[in-house]
A = this chain, B = another copy of it.
Amino acid sequence: MSLKELSALMLPAIEAELQRQVERLNQPRTKSFYEMLTYHMGWTGEGAGPDAAGKRIRPLMVLLCVAACEADWKSALPASAAVELVHNFSLVHDDIQDNSPKRRGRSTVWAKWGAPMAINVGDALFVISNQAMLDLSRSHPASTVLQAAAILHDTCLELTRGQFLDMSYEKRTNLTVDDYWPMIEGKTAALISACTQIGAILGGAGDATVEQYRVFGRDLGLAFQVQDDILGIWGNEALTGKSAASDLVEGKNSLPILYGLSQKGKFAQRWAASAISPAEVAEAAQMLINEGAQEYSQREAQRLTNQALEALQKTNPKGEAGNALYELADKLLNRES
């Protein structure tokens, strides 16, 4: 089976498990609270559907890693739901923190129900992720469940550290690429690394293999974010400049931007002067190319991709799921949107 065929099996199972988990809030008196969660998850409300739900890459990675260890991926479904719920908890809080009115083309939870309710929605998604993880006890020994839960908790602390760094950079003007890596280690790489690591543990892999899966996830996560940052400036949507799709307009702490700032050249001067408008993105993007930011970012993305694939090779992933992991990594790193 190809990645496509495996996804066609796994994704509906992931969605059913997520719904079963979130169902915990479907109780008398809290129906409308429950609806806030199902809205965010992309199941209800205006614009509901697969586009609103997102790609469910993280839970898919968990299950593929389990299967690549030649274990039964179905028994790992609660863990796959747990990582996706953590991801969504962080999105709900992130949208409040960034004051973002839209996500995936729909109103964000805070924009619809206000920040106080949205804080609580994020908290509930977080709680349910913890509960989902403990559901592993139905099929796994208690010590394995604790090991997986500990990884998820450590990851969540990394998420808060990454989030703190990102927010604390807003007022700083002397940022360099050294400030970039610890931020995305926390914000992006930690959770993807948790997915591959937890998948390997639930797949029954030995310590050395689990460690390689961890490295695979981390480097894939870093490469994924760098690729995202490249697209955020030179991707089609970003360059057309018709909306705030460019990270230059958003003022995001992305790798090309931090690299550009550290060059202390024309780009840094332009950046310090005032916010960049949609009409100016093409010019600013060109300045970044001139100062080497695009080349540097592409080289980093390639280096991290190579490292990720090397680590994956060392895990010796088995069968169709193993091939699908290579395919998924390739797809994530060579995407154009």
B-binding residues in A (CB < 8 A): 24-25, 27, 29-30, 32-33, 93, 96-98, 115-117, 119-120, 122-124, 126-128, 130-131, 134, 137, 141-143, 145-146, 149-150, 153-154, 156-157, 159-161, 163-165, 167-168, 182
Contact = CB atoms under 8 A, between A and B. Distances in A.
A33 B143 CA distance: 32
A150 B133 CA distance: 10
Contact of A142 (B97, B142, B154, B160): B142
B120 A29 contact: no
B120 A96 contact: no
A119 B32 CA distance: 22
A117 to B, nearest CB: 6
B153 A25 contact: no
B142 A120 contact: no
A67 to B, nearest CB: 25
B137 A146 contact: yes
Nearest to A145: B146
Given A123-B163, A127-B156, A134-B149, 18 more contacts: A33-B160, A93-B119, A93-B120, A97-B115, A115-B115, A120-B163, A120-B167, A123-B126, A123-B156, A127-B153, A130-B153, A130-B156, A131-B154, A131-B157, A134-B150, A137-B146, A142-B143, A145-B146
Contacts of A127: 153, 156-157, 160
B96 A157 contact: no
The secondary structure that dominates the A interface is helix
29 contacts: A24-B157, A27-B161, A30-B164, A33-B160, A33-B164, A33-B168, A96-B115, A97-B116, A97-B120, A98-B116, A117-B167, A119-B119, A119-B122, A120-B164, A123-B126, A123-B159, A124-B157, A126-B126, A127-B157, A130-B149, A130-B153, A130-B156, A131-B154, A131-B157, A134-B146, A134-B150, A137-B146, A141-B142, A142-B145
Contacts of A96: 115-116, 119
Contacts of A157: 24-25, 124, 127-128, 131
A160 B117 contact: no
Contacts of A130: 130, 149, 153, 156
A172 to B, nearest CB: 12
A220 to B, nearest CB: 23
A124 to B, nearest CB: 4
Contacts of A25: 157, 160-161
Given A126-B123, A146-B137, A165 B97 contact: no
Contacts of A161: 25, 27, 29-30, 33
A97 B146 CA distance: 33
Nearest to A126: B126
A180 to B, nearest CB: 12
A123 B30 contact: no
